[in-house]
Structure 1
């Protein structure tokens, strides 16, 4: 085989022009990584990659005259229902019979039985298109709100953060996948096709098969862990068929494709120089296995979906060639160095490819980050962004190590003429190459945690008490409806607002301005100073010193002789 980068003749060293041609690609990559991230993320609009609750009907804290037939939740993207994910309780914690239906981005909960007066709580847990679980609760009242609301713990209360063990299993899966595919590809693409290299070929085949087993076991082990994570269920639920049927079909397709693809690749690896057909089968198996993980997760919920998936596949292919190539060099370089300039030729050929691979990694990684994260705020305010920044920093370290290996150590191996010199230079290169591979393993560890992190800022779950959100109550004062709102419903500074409307829902006024006073069991704040903000709208600022039940007395003189007084209650967490 003719080498694209022949070793210089005796007494000659690579010229400055040749060396600069090799240095430029890696320097450009090192500059492109932070620069493209800055330009792309700085100008990007947030990508829709995680379902967020947009509205509910009835609204949180609403007080209705009669119970609704159904409760509707509207999200910003499609969601997936889970078994026992939606339940309705009355104020005592008793289950209210209901039926839940998911229609694209809408969850409809139908109340099957008649309910009496008091507070109702709908707890819900769903799965976004990107595989992340979301959950929360909605409380509203029929007639008067209940003084005490006691709702039992359900699957909706389970955490939505990915379990640590799942992230570790993801890391092992990606590590095995990229190592197996990369070793197999290196064996058919870069290893010399000579009988003297059959021992190196067998060594790579053994390593690739071990890595393939690790990948297959990890990807299949993640399936039950994903089920429990998404559904918020205990391990005992794995014995129920509904747990397995609730998973998306892609959660089974991906590990099956990884297993089949790697199986084809590593079983097809020969112990002698492969022909084109054998090499094609190995590379096809690698391609199938590396494409599979992109069919789930963030890429499935990011637009344009087809382009994002294709770019993510290229990202994994480039990562496999880089990591697998480094591991292969560490395994066979000493053997190759014993045979004249074989080691230098293989390393020079791989080095040329590595520059292109690194550039591909930067471009595809930046594009994926742009479409999934979408903005600087996502990088700085979310767990996904934090892990992504750590990944970028570790990749920069890998680039520095790669530059040292290629441009400081490789020329020494290429210029060595004696066997002992080649062995010494090869030993140093093996150590630094494995160090570079170790940095990439750290990158994959971060990736394992990145896969199940949401790119959206954490959204506070709506609790029955309305913690961290506003709450409102409506009272009737003769012919005037008064909507009283506390925002936020929390200990500390808050704003109380009263909005007056007539029977047609239009702003109206009383004979005098309304008066509001607040009190709790041990605290009486007295009357609140209100400011008129417009027709029928008054607001005042105050500080709630403690949590618990706060009573708001609403007084409005509706005529010269009539002054109805009503009391509403707010449960402050």
Structure 2
């Protein structure tokens, strides 16, 4: 009877694991979009209109959720009051209830992208031909995220990831490492780390993450009275939804691991494993990878990366305690078992990390020219140091321990502390990466080659145009109407060549009321290139260029040229 009961229990446990694995796979997001980028807006930036527009339209590269769109005059007042913004496909549309009087206006906007990142900005336009004090209006432009809020988000996210990986890793270590420990070591608590700290940390940082996300969405004009509204905004985002899954899993996991009898039973370990997988799976519901165009293969790669990282970090505590308390043979068995798993797991971790890094950073220059790339380089350096320490443990200290060399335990304890500290640094850098836009080249890659055969194209148009933030060097090789090749280069105030995050161009022929379509340009190195065939009619054409400089800053350029 005991054997039959054990068999039934084991079968139920395995079926439960398979069921939860299926649920985890079903939870994986298949969103085929990425970080939101404003592609265009109507009215255009710096537009001078004869009459008031009926609507305001902001077009993005993906569906977004509007937080607010405000029309401000130079004094900071909202002449039309609060305006409801509607999401329509990839655009945000605001219907103006009445006409705007002549004057200058600043449109301040804030939206939430598919990966839960708040994105905001502002642009200006003018109704009528009078003079406008734009200097006074600029103070009402959409502000960047406050430094304090940014730091709080990174710190909280780091603590959350640390607590989650330690708890989940502890479960994996129970299944993979504890069989190498004898009953004496297990009874002395080597298999039960002090879980109250990471458990409590996870229960505090998860709801705090929802609130901080809401504050980031709300903007800088938040007050104590608006905290409930900010929390509601946080819950409505994909990060808030994944946090709810994580919080529920964290509560169950802490209850299982702190209930003495259940924690020591085999069924309790199986249940804890299922809940830990759900908790880790919550990280796959949002973020850069989950909303990348190739999420179908990137999300499983991230899942593998998380599992190995959790096991590695979760093993640090038990290994340190074993180095202090266990007898030499038990410690050797534990180290040998950990090394045997690491031989397979560490290469998988590195390959998964490399695959994601190569996808997020599509060219070497982005590693030093973007905040995402620089943070990624620091993370790679920290991981390299972790590997060096781990290799020293594996090939030097383990052999010295087997030979009973004096002082080996102390050196091993020191190395394990250093390894743990470096891994905490990796987690902090991972949390920092989540606040930057990936350096990948957007979603507009083309298979054809771009070139500018100036020697065979006749005239060359070259113009230098000053913007609010950058200077545009515009070059166009053309012979007549028809196909034309353009090349755009951007320079900062110091004359340094820079590459905006996204650039688009539009060709209009006002005399015939022809308004072209916005077209995204492909980045080639530091330049933006495109072959266009929009100019099919002779006349005085207006060329509009929009450049997304940062998440919150955009520059607009305009020139007029005659084509014959």
User: What TM-score comes out, normalization by structure 1 length?
Assistant: 0.67
Say if 2:184 is the partner of 1:183.
no
Q: Is the 8 A contact 1:56 1:72 kept in 2?
A: yes
Q: Is 2:408 the partner of 1:400?
A: no
What is residue 439 of structure 1 aligned with on the other side? 422
Higher RCO (CA 8 Å, separation ≥ 6 residues): 1
Tell whether 2:377 aligns with 1:389. Answer: yes
C-alpha separation in 2, matches of 1:537 and 1:198: 80
> Structure 1 residues 145 and 311, CA, compared in 2 at 3 Å: closer, same or farther?
farther
2:90 is matched with 105
Unaligned runs of 5+ in 2: 1-31, 443-465, 473-488, 496-506, 515-537, 544-564
C-alpha distance after superposition, 1:512-536 (max 9, x if no partner): xxxxxxxxxxxxxxxxxxxxxx965
1:195 pairs with 2:183: yes
Q: Quick one: distance in 2 between partners of 1:440 and 1:500?
A: 54
Kindly report which structure 2 residues correspond to 1:221-300, keeping only aligned pairs within 5 A, or say none: 221-237=208-224, 239-247=226-234, 248-269=236-257, 274-300=264-290
> Against the structure 1 CA distance between its residues 181 and 489, is the aligned structure 2 distance closer, same or farther, given a 3 Å change threshold?
closer
CA distance in 2, matches of 1:291, 1:500: 49
In the alignment, the residues of structure 1 paired with residue 75 and residue 471 of structure 2 have an alpha-carbon distance, to the nearest angstrom, of 23
* Bigger Rg, structure 1 or 2: 1
Contact 1:184 1:266 in 2 (8 A): no
Number of corresponding residues: 431
Pick one of 507, 512, 522 that aligns with 1:504: 512
Structure 1 residues 536 and 374: alpha-carbon distance in aligned structure 2, compared to 1, 3 A threshold: closer
8 A Cα contact 2:169 2:315, kept in partner? yes
Aligned counterparts of 1:277 and 1:411: Cα–Cα separation in 2: 37
Structure 1 position 366 matched with structure 2 position 349: no
Secondary structure in 1 aligned to 2:223? Answer: helix
Q: Is 2:317 aligned against 1:327?
A: yes
Contact 1:155-1:233 at 8 Å conserved across structures = no
* Residues in 1 aligned to 2:253 and 2:194: alpha-carbon distance in whole angstroms: 12
Q: Deviations over 1:254-309 (max 9, x none)?
A: 33333333444444347689454222112212212222122122123212224322
3-state SS of paired residue (1:316): helix
**1-structure distance, mates of 2:220, 2:88:** 23
Match of 1:86 in 2: 69
- Whole-angstrom CA distance in 2 between matches of 1:491 and 1:447: 32
CA distance in 1, matches of 2:176, 2:372: 35
CA 1:222/1:238 → structure 2, altered by over 3 Å: closer, same or farther? farther
Q: Secondary structure at the match of 1:63?
A: strand
SS of 1:136's equivalent? strand
Q: Distance in 2 between matches of 1:317 and 1:121?
A: 48
One of 139, 154, 172 as aligned partner of 2:124: 139
Q: Matches of 1:71 and 1:469 in 2, distance apart?
A: 25
Deviation at 1:232, TM superposition (A): 0.8
Contact 1:302 1:371 in 2 (8 A): no
Deviations 1:293-344 (A, max 9, x none): 2212212321222432222222111111111112210012333325xx2221
Per the normalisation by structure 2, the TM-score is 0.68
Partner of 2:549: none
3-state SS of the aligned residue for 1:399?
Answer: helix
Given the alignment of the two structures, is residue 317 of structure 1 paired with residue 307 of structure 2, yes or no? yes
Cα distance in structure 1, aligned partners of 2:363 and 2:214: 30
> Aligned with 2:421: secondary structure?
helix
Where 1:302 maps in the other structure, the secondary structure is coil
Instruction: Give secondary structure in 1 for the equivalent of 2:512.
Output: coil
C-alpha separation between the residues in 2 aligned to 1:337 and 1:53?
62
User: Which residue of the other structure, out of 99, 102, 114, is the alignment partner of 1:114?
Assistant: 99
Aligned twin of 2:397: 409
